[in-house]
Structure 1
Amino acid sequence: MRKITKRSAAVIGATVVAIGGGAAWAATSWFEGEGTASASSSTVQKVTAVGTVSEKLYPGKSATAAVTATNPNDYPVSVTGTSDLKVAVTGAPGCAQKDADLSLSLPPANTIPAKSGATPGTLTGDWTNFVTMGKNADPACAGATFALTFKLEGKVA
C-alpha cells in the first residue's frame, strides 16, 4: 500500500471540494422561480357596549353595570377605558349633567372576541363600580333617570 503524501492529500481534498461545489451549483442551477402575493387589511368597525345599572345612585355611591359589548371586527379587541361622558337627565327638573356629578371607572380586563362569519363577537358581564355619583351631586337630582353615552377606548387584543 502506498503512503499518501501531504501534496497528494491536498490535491485529493481540493478535488472533493470542487466536485461537491459543482454538484451544489448544478442542483441550484436547475431551478428558477418567482412569486407574488397580495393582501388587504381589515376595516375598523365601532365596538359598542350597552349596560344597565340596577342599583340606585346617591351621592358617593358606585354601582355595577351589567354590560354586553359587541365587536363587529375581524379581530378581537379589549376595552381599556372610556371618555367624553355625556349625561341626559329626565324626571328631575333642575338637575343637569353637571349637577348629577356622574363619572365612570375603568372597565374590567376583557377581550371581546372577533366576529364569526357575519355574527359579531359578544362579551357579557358585570363592570363592577362602573358608574359613580359624586359626593357633590345636587339634591335636585333625587329621583332622576340618567342616560349615559360615552366613547370606548381600546386596542386590538
Structure 2
Amino acid sequence: MRKSVKRAVVIGTTLAVAGVAGAAWASWVAGGDGTASAQAGTASELTTNVVTTDATLFPGVTGDSTISINNPNPYPVKVTSIVWNPSDGVQATPVAGKTCGNTGVYFGDFSQNNIGTNGVLSGLDLEIAKGDSAQFTLPKTVHMINNSEDGCQGATFSIKVHVSGVSNAS
C-alpha cells in the first residue's frame, strides 16, 4: 500500500474512532434547567351549629354541652380549640309564656372551679374524618351563676362559638 493511502486510512480510522467516542460520550451527558410546580388546595372552614347545653342547669350548677362540627375538607381534621366570645352572650329559648333575658349561663372549662376559662377550651383533641360531621359532648363546659332570671327555668340555651383545628392527615 502506498504511504499516502496508509496515511489516509490511519487518519480516517482515527477520526471515525474519535467521532464514535464523542458520540458515545455525548449520549451519556445530558443537562437542562426547568421548574417543577404543584398547587396547594385551599382549606375550607369548619362549620358548626351552636353549642347546646346537655344538662339540666340550676343556679350554681355546672353541666355538659354538646356540639356538632362539620369538616368539608378532603382530609381529616383535629379540632384543638373552641372559643366563646362572652360579648356574644347566650341565647335562650324559654318555655311558653316566660322570658329569659339574663341567662346567667357561661361557657368555658369549669372542671377545676366555677370561674372557668373565660370562654376558651384549648388543648382539645377532637377528630373529624374528611368530609364528615361529628358530635361531641364537652364535659363541665357550661355554668349557670346565681343571678339567672326566674323566667330561665326550663329554657334551652344555645351558645355561639368559633372552632379551630389542624390537618390530621398522616
TM class, shorter-length: 0.5 to 0.7
* Shift, 1:32, TM fit: 0.7
Q: Which residue matches 2:8?
A: none
**Which of the numbers 87, 91, 116 marks the counterpart of 1:88?**
91
Q: Which residue matches 1:64?
A: 64
- Partner amino acid, structure 2, of 1:47: L
Q: Which residue matches 2:163?
A: 152
| TM-score normalised by length of structure 1 | 0.61
SS in 1 for 2:35: coil
Are the equivalent residues in 2 in contact too, given 1:112–1:121 (CA < 8 A)?
A: no
Q: Alignment identity in percent?
A: 26
SS in 1 for 2:151: helix
Counterpart mapping for 1:8-157 below 5 A: 30-50=29-49, 51-75=51-75, 76-84=77-85, 85-91=88-94, 93-96=98-101, 99-105=102-108, 106=121, 109-115=124-130, 120-157=131-168
| TM-score normalised by length of structure 2 | 0.57
* Shift, 1:133, TM fit: 1.4
Distance 2:126 2:156 in 1: 30
1:109-150 alpha-carbon deviations (Å, 9 max, x no partner): 2243452xxxx1334432111222123323232222223222
SS in 2 for 1:109: strand
SS in 1 for 2:64: strand
Are the equivalent residues in 2 in contact too, given 1:42–1:74 (CA < 8 A)?
A: no
Distance 1:127 1:78 in 2: 13
Distance 1:78 1:62 in 2: 23
1:6-38 alpha-carbon deviations (Å, 9 max, x no partner): xxxxxxxxxxxxxxxxxxxx89x8131334322
Are the equivalent residues in 1 in contact too, given 2:52–2:159 (CA < 8 A)?
A: no
- Partner amino acid, structure 1, of 2:94: G
Aligned residues: 125
Question: Which of these two proteins has the greater Rg computed from alpha carbons?
Answer: 2
Are the equivalent residues in 2 in contact too, given 1:95–1:140 (CA < 8 A)?
A: yes
- Partner amino acid, structure 2, of 1:110: D
SS in 2 for 1:38: coil
Are the equivalent residues in 2 in contact too, given 1:107–1:127 (CA < 8 A)?
A: no
SS in 2 for 1:110: strand
* Shift, 1:155, TM fit: 4.1
Q: What is the aligned-residue RMSD (CA, Å)? A: 3.0
